[in-house]
Structure 1
Amino acid sequence: MGQPARRETILRVLITLDATPLLGTRTGIGRYVDRLVSHLPDAVARSGADATIRVTTWTARGGRIPALPAGVRQVGPRVPARLLRECWRRWDAPPVEVLTGRTDVFHGTNFVSPPTRRAREVLTVHDLTYALHAGTVTAASLQYRELVPRALARGAHVLTPTAAVAAAVREHYGLTEDRVTPTLLGVDAPWFDAVPASGRWLDERGLPEEFLLFVGSLDPRKNLPRLLEAYARARRDHPGTPDLVLAGPAGREERLAATPGVHLTGWLADADLRALVAAARALVLPSLDEGFGLPVLEAFATGRPAVVSAVPALLEVGGPHAFAAPPEDVDALAGALVQALRAPDDAEAVAARRAWAGRFTWQACADRTLDAYLAR
């Protein structure tokens, strides 16, 4: 489903990606771009194509990206992203070649595809929150309502993180199937080797030994207020419900610490986050909308179950191992929390979750992405 058309294979291809999401604090999109850039050189080698990978960034500060893979170099001048977006929102100028030099393919990795003179435009649309849940996004994200259609009108090929988002994009924009390719994301290998945090480690941080875990931000899309309400109901109706731990940006919001049964982690290094997830009774991701939901697969890789909202992408990624509830139904969400706590957690159940997560790899993501670059 969604396989890019394989017509004439282009040889000697110069491919440039927008790597701006690699600057500053890494979000989920930043992790996607990092893994994609890291795995594309091997994808090129596997394909036998004669292709060169480059990256560029849109920033007035001229941010340099350290530790790029061998053979990948950074190109382009210092240019403010805000200025470029404003130009591209109004006009098909400046073309990307003015900024990066000649390129055969340009991949806008984060909703924004610049106009080109001749290069093939490839655009990742991670979700349709900006169009379907406009009240939950920033003013900058609302610009996608203009920038994405302009790119599509120029013929950009769309990549999405799930088949669910691919179907939604086709329906929303009236695109044919061959213009949209799902490139499912992957799980980093260290998640499969994560060792649960010890009782001592948890105690030193003021965290309980038994807990449910939310990893995310205060972004309205993450639906944290309803989760807190659902957790309070589960705690009221089912004595013995373990405490709720908040990690990620939400885990640094001190105002949430006064909520009964709720604990904050503060900032965590990646290894510490993996240990925390591995020690949880279950992960909870009740988002109003998601394009993929990587924390769900990461929890599965450690063997832990997950509670998700019943939105298409999370149902796709969670498969048979997630407990789902409508994101706006607090009672149903409370019920899903209780279900997850009562779910089988023997060696067979743990192995099944790990096996499901193992189906999603960054190698496959890079291969599918390269196919989209080279298709004509």
Structure 2
Amino acid sequence: MTGPTIAVDGTPLSRPMDGIGRWSANVLRETALARPDWRFVVLGFTDDRARPYLLPDLPNVERVLLPVPRRAYQAVYSLVARVPVDRLVPRVDALVSTNYTAFPALRVPSVVTVFDLAYVDLPDVIEKRNLAYLRKHVPRSMREAAAITTISPFTAARIDAEFPGHAPVHLVDCGLDPAFLAPLTAGPALPSGYVLAVGTLEPRKNLVTLLRAWSRVDPALRRAHPLVIVGRAGWGSRDLPGDVPADVLAEVSFTGYVEDADLPAVYAGATLFAFPSLYEGFGLPLLEAMASGVPAVVSDIPPFREIGAGLVDYVDPLDPRAFAEAISVRLTRAGDDRAAQARTRAREWTWERSGRQMAETIEGVLA
């Protein structure tokens, strides 16, 4: 290989059930495919040896474990000083860190990905420990990064407003998993005609509004179209609304985590997709629902407008009554040709394009 060597922060790649981890793995794979003469060194720590990594099986991608424990280095980095680890890694030309901050510390130009600014705009939905970390390190990364990438025009505009004088911001899109374009395979057993919600169960996903809305839907509709919520438990996930009747909550199916390979069948089996999230940098579940031809009722927030255009229904995420009405109308309305248009639109987002965008961003930094 005659091209540059690019260090990659392996932290998100060690979280296989994490949305940032999946984005990072897909972008790394497609960037490495787009630049086969480049070498990509994914940096981990000595205690990551047994940890599963979302590492693409490509000849120009390898993992290097630093001879220090992850937790110890993270504590020093966060609480004391950003100790550079240049001497512990092969010579590299740039660092790509897809987790908000330039981590680990290296004396090379950095490309930092910021997915959203929820910690600025809606701090109450961020776990306190993570909030303190982001407040401390993101502003410094924005000042020092050679380039910044993000996943939506909305977040790019927020970065411009919040961090004047920062390095150039480049869009590196999310992509649709090719599995959503392939023939369906059998998925988990679920009730017929269900309304689907997908996402980690945490305050930002606004499960409270969805359940309050669901309690307002006509019982006959609820019986005909039961609510299925797919997602692993996150922080604050036990805070179910006390004003929703227990018998309504008992009707809701919480599946927990569902394997990626089963998700296309889960979406395809739904009659309606509901996404009441308070804040997103992008909104991949909406893209997946659109690709599956499933009508959607979603929060009226900028990233969802960017994805869905006029092909889905938008509702105030803080208004359970409006959400209930929109869900009820969709469940009782005869066909809607927007779903077919939405399926076509969703196919515009590909990981191949994302890889090209990241490769071009890195090239700009190297130049």
Q: By the TM > 0.5 criterion, same fold?
A: yes
Q: Structure 1: where are the runs of 5+ without partners?
A: 1-10
Are 1:157 and 2:147 an aligned pair? yes
Please tell me whether residue 275 in structure 1 is matched to residue 265 in structure 2. Answer: yes
Q: 2:175 aligned to 172, 177, 186, which one? A: 186
Name the amino acid aligned to 1:57.
G
How many matched pairs? Answer: 353
Partner of 2:297: 307
Partner of 1:218: 201
Q: Distance in 2 between matches of 1:254 and 1:121?
A: 38
The 1:231/1:239 distance shift into structure 2, 3 A limit, reads closer
Cα distance in 2, alignment partners of residues 370 and 121 from structure 1: 13
Shift of 1:78: 4.4
Partner of 1:375, secondary structure, is helix
The whole-number CA distance in structure 1 between the counterparts of 2:150 and 2:15 is 23
Aligned: 1:340 with 2:323 = no
Matches of 2:212 and 2:185, distance apart in 1: 28
The answer to whether the Cα contact below 8 Å between 1:196 and 1:276 also exists between their aligned partners in 2 is: no
Q: For the Cα contact (< 8 Å) 1:110–1:124, is it kept in 2? A: yes
Residues 111-151 of structure 1: CA distance to partner in whole angstroms, max 9, x if unpaired? 12137554211111111122222222223421011111111
Residue correspondence of structure 1 range 26-65 to structure 2 within 5 A: 26-45=17-36, 50-58=37-45, 60-62=47-49, 63=51, 65=53
Q: Deviations over 1:135-192 (max 9, x none)?
A: 222234210111111112223421111111111111112246x621121110011112
Does structure 1 retain, via aligned residues, the 8 Å contact 2:48–2:65? no
Answer with 218-227 or 240-249: which moved more: 240-249
Which residue number corresponds to residue 4 of structure 1?
Answer: none
User: Is the contact between residue 114 and residue 151 of structure 1 (CA under 8 Å) also seen in structure 2?
Assistant: no
Alignment partner, residue 243 of structure 2: none
1:136–1:99 distance in 2 versus 1, CA, 3 Å: farther
- Preserved CA contact (<8 Å) 1:20 1:58: no
Alpha-carbon spacing, 1:244–1:68, altered in 2? closer, same or farther (3 Å): same
Partner of 1:323: 313
Distance in 1 (CA, whole Å) between partners of 2:40 and 2:173 is 20
Q: What is residue 12 of structure 2 aligned with on the other side?
A: 21
Cα distance, 1:172–1:343 mapped onto 2, change above 3 Å: farther
Shift of 1:359: 0.5
How far apart, in 1, do the equivalents of 2:238 and 2:126 lie? Answer: 23
Aligned equivalent of 1:3: none
1:12 aligns with 2:3: yes
Distance 1:281 1:21, change over 3 A: same
Partners of 2:325 and 2:183 in 1: how far apart?
28
Query: Does the aligned pair in 1 maintain the 2:16–2:22 contact within 8 Å?
Result: no
TM-score norm. by structure 1 comes to 0.84
Return the alpha-carbon distance in structure 1 between the equivalents of residues 329 and 183 of structure 2.
24
Where does 1:163-174 land on structure 2 (aligned, <5 Å)? 163-174=153-164
Given that 2:193 and 2:224 are in contact with CA atoms closer than 8 Å, whether structure 1 keeps it comes out as no
Q: Distance in 2 between matches of 1:193 and 1:172?
A: 41
Change beyond 3 A, Cα 1:301–1:268: same
1:273 Cα offset (Å): 2.5
Return the match for 2:344 from 323, 339, 355.
355
CA contact (8 A) 2:84 2:105 kept: yes
Amino acid at match of 1:301: A
How far the C-alpha of 1:242 sits from its partner, in A, is 2.0
What SS does the aligned partner of 1:57 have?
strand
2:213 corresponds, among 230, 233, 252, to 230
Change (3 A) 1:117 1:26: closer
Name the SS of the counterpart of 2:317 in structure 1.
coil
| 1:135 aligns to 2:118 (yes or no) | no
Task: Give the secondary structure class of the aligned counterpart of 2:277.
Answer: coil
Contact between 2:4 and 2:93, CA under 8 Å: does it hold in 1?
yes
Give the CA deviation at 1:345.
Answer: 3.8
Q: CA RMSD in A?
A: 2.9
8 Å CA contact retained: 2:9, 2:103: no
Aligned to 1:8: none
Equivalent-residue separation in structure 1 for 2:332 and 2:164 (angstroms):
43
Q: Letter of the aligned partner of 1:246 in structure 2?
A: I
Measured after TM superposition, the shift of residue 238 of structure 1 is: 6.5
Return the alpha-carbon distance in structure 2 between the equivalents of residues 196 and 300 of structure 1: 18
Q: Which residue of 2 aligns with 1:147?
A: 137
Cα–Cα, structure 1 residues 99 and 53, in superposed 2: closer, same or farther, change >3 Å? same
For 1:246, what is the secondary structure of its paired residue?
strand
Aligned residue type for 2:43: T
Find the aligned partners of 2:283 and 2:78 in 1 and give their Cα distance.
29
Counterpart check, 1:93 vs 2:82: yes
Alpha-carbon contact 1:126-1:161 (below 8 Å) kept: yes
